[in-house]
Amino acid sequence: MFEIGARLHFDAAHCLRGYQGKCERLHGHRFEVEAVAAAAELDATGLALDFTILKRLLKAVIDELDHAFLNELPPFQQENASSEVIARYIYQRLAPELPAPARLQSVTVWESPGCWARYSEG
Ligand SMILES: [Zn+2]
């Protein structure tokens, strides 16, 4: 199995409803996002998936989150825009976009350099 990853970032604000602590207050992060795609075989050019394709697809999803107040966006109006929920949202948006035979393995979101959350299915 081959795995490749692409990492991009976006800047956004959020606050965690119902959280007891300073994250309840409005604040911002530079969220780092890494998408990992997997493929069992390489194509004729020796690639599992072209990095430029993975980056372009990931960028299209995170551009909608960039410089936003996440709590106001539809995916985060009911659930908090925690790193976990953001990772699942990006995963579910990105997974159907990847060209076969590559498939999305995981999405990891860093809220700060030392803290991340990852979402994957199966
Ligand atoms: Zn936060």
Distance between Cα 118 and ligand 1 center (Å): 16
Distance between Cα 62 and ligand 1 center (Å): 17
Question: Position of tokens 């551009």?
Answer: 63
pLDDT digits (tens, 9 = 90+) for 102-114: 999 999 999 999 9
This prediction's pTM: 0.96
Q: Which two tokens stand for residue 35?
A: 């998408």
CATH number of 2-119: 3.30.479.10
Distance between Cα 7 and ligand 1 center (Å): 19
Rounded to an integer, the average pLDDT of 45-63 is 97
Residue spans per domain, the chain: 2-119
Q: Is the pLDDT of residue 122 over 90?
A: no
Whole-number Å distance between alpha carbons of 39 and 49: 8
What residues are neighbours of ligand 1 (ion), with CB under 5 Å?
A: 23
